[in-house]
Structure 1
Amino acid sequence: MVQLRVLPESVEVDLNNLKKTISEKIGNLCKINEVKEDEIGFGLSALMFSVIIPDEEGKIDAVENAISSIKDVSQVDTRDITLI
């Protein structure tokens, strides 16, 4: 299981639409376990995705790259990786 933090480009980005777009984009690469909003400050919130990714070389990078390629995404960070 991998926890990813996704930062939107600005506070004007609709997080519900962004969450839906990301879920559609990575749905074939991994299983989405949970998505939460994490308030950062100054009106900006991040999306925290808990996803189950097969333990194969390059899979985490593929998921991060897929998310990074989405229009309103500023940054993607891997926060935690655990084996389940």
Structure 2
Amino acid sequence: MCANFTDDDEGKRVVNANGEEIGIVQHVEGGSVHVDPDPGITDSIKSKLGWGDSDEDTYALDENNVESISDDEVRLRRL
């Protein structure tokens, strides 16, 4: 799937392939989505998403990691 993010996606939960919440879509800008990660998200998941170890407030989500977008969540592919 090629994700097409819109302003309507702001506030949606971001969940992994198992349905566990890993963050919330903070804002969409120019088709790019930025996620506010759940404080409990592990470093290994951050690494797989390319989010590194920095203490940024939000992180860009690569659309290649997105499996689907529904009315209330953005579901990621199995990492």
Pair in the same fold by TM > 0.5? no
Q: Which has the larger radius of gyration?
A: 1
Q: Would you tell me which structure has more helix in proportion to its own residues?
A: 1
Q: TM-score, normalised by structure 1?
A: 0.34
Q: TM-score, normalised by structure 2?
A: 0.35
Q: Would you tell me which structure has more strand in proportion to its own residues?
A: 1
Query: Which structure would you say has the larger RCO, counting Cα contacts within 8 Å and 6 or more residues apart?
Result: 1
